[in-house]
Amino acid sequence: MKILILSFFCLLSCLTWAQTKNTSTEVRDYREVDGKIILDLVVNGEVAGFVLDLAGHTAILPEYVERLKIDENIPGEFKYNEFLYKKVPVVKSVLIGTMAFGNNVFGNGVSAFVLGDESYLRELGVAGIVGGAMFRNVVLTIDRRRKKITTSIPYRPSYMKLDYRTDIEVLPGSAVVCPVTINGTVYSLLFDTWNDGMISMTAEDFARIDGTDGGVAFVMNGYGKSVKITKTKTAVVCDFVKDQLGSVVVAENKELPRSVLGSGILEKGIISIDYQKQKIYFQPFDLVEVKDDVVGDVASSVVPGKLNPITREYFLEHIYDYRKDKEFVFKGDKPVVIDFWATWCGPCMRLIPEMEKMAEKYKDQVLFLKVNADKEKELCSMFNVVALPTLFFIPVGGKPIIETGATPEKYEQIIREQLLKK
């Protein structure tokens, strides 16, 4: 019996370890312009800003098709030919090669609409819109107070309390519908991060609201500015998840296909959306201490003479920060060799021992680094690393010399003749 109990706890420990190893959390800053959440994504090796619209679809302005190296002759694979939940003029759809927001949010062959005339998006200085479909494989957490976006796999951040949640419905296009109680009646509202207000309703739902006349307000349609004046009501009681929001202003918008919960809810607390389990978490900012629990491989200190594993964060800090500099500017004062590899890649695994020998041989002259391509997807997208192994040879003050394949003799020659030339 004791042996069985010990076996059980050993198995439990192994499962816990495996669960931890398969967990990843990334915390990224975002910026706001005119109340819109803007994320910097890497698209086909180019960094571009996109407005987060969880009730929309990924879409780009026409002038960015060429800038982002998108082949406009390859159509996207949408099952629909227009925006499903708002009126937005589109020209056609295209297929984006790679699109990444960190390493948790990554896509190959991403379908996107090409937008019609949307001058307001140009005023915001963005390339387009990123919709909820990009986040369907992660738990997405938005903290407006800290201006942070957290993407986690497979669980919510630990500071989000388990009992502060409710069920949601995930619609086609990965739009989210959640229950909101107004004056005792439950309404199913589409969560719309483009909409600046708290609650906007169709004419039918608005007529059902019992509230005092709140005067008029501006509303938005499509991706234009807030220009249309509409009626509002002040509802006395509004509850979302476990939070009592008190009285709220409800706006009527006759052009909405369905009623929405806008980004105004982000002023009240933190939201986490678990697309896979179809749950939404919401809690006031000060309910618990917010402490980011970032899990994953942390870049270790780089040791001369070793083949050192590094992360995106190390690359940005010590090699080249592509978020700030358009042209490659090497930050280091010693030549660097970077090996992009993966455990499933046979040539990669055969090359690694040879790279370790070179690292020892040139330890006082060259730094040797390696990047796990399966884990550092944004870096691979940024530099179009599609074949493995791929190696970067970076001279001081120069640009990367890029080679593919497992040819250590050739690589040592590049080190001698290109990195260490006098």
For 392-411, what is the mean pLDDT?
95
**At a CB cut-off of 8 Å and minimum separation 6, what does 152 contact?**
23, 24, 25, 26, 104, 138, 139, 141
C-beta pairs of 61-67 under 8 Å, 24+ apart in sequence: 61/114, 61/115, 61/118, 61/121, 61/122, 61/126, 61/127, 61/128, 62/91, 62/114, 62/115, 64/127, 64/128, 65/94, 65/114, 67/127
Q: Which fold has domain 165-264?
A: Cathepsin D, subunit A; domain 1 (2.40.70)
CB neighbours (10 Å) of residue 15? 10
Taking only the tens place, the pLDDT of each residue in 165-221 is 999 999 999 999 999 999 999 999 999 999 988 999 999 999 999 888 878 877 777
Q: DSSP assignment, residue 225?
A: -
pLDDT given for residue 294 in this prediction = 63
CB neighbours (10 Å) of residue 410? 12
CA angle centred on 290, ends 287 and 295, rounded to 5°: 140
At residue 15 the predicted structure's pLDDT band, cuts being 50, 70 and 90, is very low
Q: Which amino acid makes up residue 226?
A: S
Taking only the tens place, the pLDDT of each residue in 210-266 is 888 878 877 777 887 777 778 999 988 999 999 888 889 999 998 889 999 999 999
Q: Which two tokens stand for residue 43?
A: 């698209």
β-strand pairing of 199-201 with 248-252: parallel
CA 243 to chain centre: 27
Rounded to 10 degrees, the C-alpha dihedral 128/129/135/141 comes to 110
For 296-301, what is the mean pLDDT?
55
178 a catalytic residue: no
Which of 10, 178, 238, 348 is an active site residue? 348
Q: Is the pLDDT of residue 8 over 60?
A: no
User: Where exactly are the structural domains of the chain?
Assistant: 24-153, 165-264, 307-419
Q: Is the pLDDT of residue 11 over 90?
A: no
Assess contact for 252 and 232: CB atoms under 8 A: yes
Q: Domain 307-419 classified CATH 3.40.1190.20?
A: no
348 a catalytic residue: yes
Q: Is the pLDDT of residue 414 over 70?
A: yes
- Which residues are registered as beta bridge partners of 179? 188
**Prediction pTM value:** 0.85
CB neighbours (10 Å) of residue 406? 20
- Do domains 24-153 and 165-264 share one topology? The answer is yes
Q: What DSSP string describes 47-83? A: EEEEEEETTS--EE-TTHHHHTT--TTS----SSSS-
Proportion of the chain above pLDDT 70, given as a percent: 93
Half-sphere exposure of 284 (CA within 13 A, CB side): 7
Q: Is the pLDDT of residue 141 over 50?
A: yes
| Domain 24-153 CATH class label | mainly beta
Assess contact for 169 and 225: CB atoms under 8 A: no
Which of 178, 238, 345, 380 is an active site residue? 345
- Token pair 């250590």: residue: 408
